């Protein structure tokens, strides 16, 4: 299973939010590159880089940070936040990302997302599926739709989506454990490579997600708060 470190950006700094609430912003490092280098130095390979400014403002804002990390490290970066056009995706790939996560556009403009899937391929495009109480959210979790999570995933899997990052917003940043039962339900219903996100706090959480069948796990606050070390995570890859 892939162990993927989350690096969320606001104002050029590495931050974390709790349950997607921008008022809970906590700065962990003024220099995201420093965090990325630490991750690489500990033998980990994957980075989930989220442009929270972009998600809120509906346009990519932190491309330079992506470029800097891609040039200075060999991390395999997936990038999300603020992507609205094919040109945005192309610029993100040109800046060094190997995958793009897109969620809001898949909620609002499914035809556009499907066009991207055809154009860039299902190895490059990850479906962002952020949900609360089983309903899909968008715009950096500022908006909740009436779309059922499992139906949403099933529909896109039938259109060729291979990967999804699924975040249970109620667990995000809470350090209360992941929604393992939810992920099990998804994998019993949908044939898709599921990357779990939200609430992962202990090595046992990661092991449980692996046993459930998740393809990857995104670790955020537990790392930044010292609950899971990079050395521990390296042994779980």
CATH number, domain containing residue 53: 3.20.20.70
Q: Under DSSP, is residue 103 helix (H, G, I), strand (E, B) or coil?
A: coil
Predicted confidence at residue 143, as pLDDT, reads: 61
**Phi, psi values for residue 114, rounded to 5°:** -65, -40
Q: Stretch 90-100: mean pLDDT, rounded? A: 98
At residue 6 the predicted structure's pLDDT band, cuts being 50, 70 and 90, is: very high
Beta-carbon-side half-sphere exposure of residue 50 (alpha carbons within 13 Å): 25
The pLDDT assigned to 141 comes to 53
Angle ∠(93,113,137) on CA atoms, nearest 5: 100
Q: Is 200 exposed, middle or buried (0-12, 13-18, 19+ CB in 10 A)?
A: buried
Confidence of residue 233 (pLDDT cuts 50, 70, 90): very high
Give the catalytic positions in this structure: 8, 130
Is the pLDDT at 55 greater than 80? The verdict is: yes
pLDDT tens, residue by residue, 114-142: 999 999 999 999 999 988 888 898 654 55
Q: Grade residue 236 by pLDDT with cuts at 50, 70 and 90.
A: confident
| Among 15-19, 147-151, 174-178, the range of highest mean pLDDT | 147-151
Cβ(205)–Cβ(51) under 8 Å?
no
Length of the chain in residues, anyone? Answer: 237
Buried-state track 205-217, b at ≥16 Cβ within 10 A, e below 16 = bbebbbebebbbb
The model carries a pTM of: 0.92
pLDDT mean over 196-219: 96
β-strand partners of 130:
167
DSSP code per residue over 119-178 = HH-TTTEEEEEEEETTEEEETTTTEEEEEEHHHHHHHHHHTT--EEEEEETTTTTS-S--
CA distances (Å), origin 173, targets 9, 16, 48, 166, 190:
15, 8, 15, 14, 26
CB atoms within 10 A of CB 112: 15
pLDDT of residue 170: 81
Domain coverage including residue 51: 2-236
Task: Give residue-wise pLDDT tens across range 100-118.
Answer: 999 889 988 999 999 999 9
What is the total count of domains within the chain?
1
Query: What is the CB neighbour count within 10 angstroms for residue 86?
Result: 13
pLDDT in tens, 14-49: 999 887 778 899 999 999 999 999 999 999 999 999
Strands 125-132 and 163-168: parallel
């Amino acid at each position: 299973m892939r162990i993927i470190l989350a690096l969320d950006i606001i104002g050029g700094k590495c931050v974390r939010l709790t349950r997607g609430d921008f008022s809970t912003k906590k700065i962990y490092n003024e220099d995201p590159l420093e965090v990325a280098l630490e991750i690489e130095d500990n033998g980990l390979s994957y980075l989930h880089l989220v442009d929270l400014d972009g998600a809120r403002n509906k346009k990519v804002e932190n491309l330079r940070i992506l470029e800097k990390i891609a040039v200075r490290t060999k991390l395999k970066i997936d990038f999300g936040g603020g992507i609205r056009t094919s040109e945005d995706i192309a610029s993100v790939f040109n800046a060094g990302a190997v995958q793009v996560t897109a969620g809001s556009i898949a909620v609002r403009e499914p035809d556009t997302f499907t066009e991207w899937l055809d154009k860039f391929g299902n190895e490059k495009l990850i479906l962002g599926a952020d949900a609360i109480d089983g309903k899909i959210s968008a715009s950096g979790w500022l908006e909740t739709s009436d779309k059922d999570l499992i139906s949403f995933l099933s529909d896109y899997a039938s259109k060729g989506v291979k990967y999804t990052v699924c975040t249970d917003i109620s667990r995000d940043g809470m350090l209360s454990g992941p929604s393992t039962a939810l992920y099990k339900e998804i994998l019993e219903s949908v044939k898709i490579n599921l990357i779990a996100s939200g609430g992962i706090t202990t090595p046992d959480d990661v092991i449980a997600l692996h046993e459930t069948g998740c393809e990857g796990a995104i670790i955020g606050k537990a790392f930044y708060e010292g609950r899971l070390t990079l050395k521990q995570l390296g042994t779980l890859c």
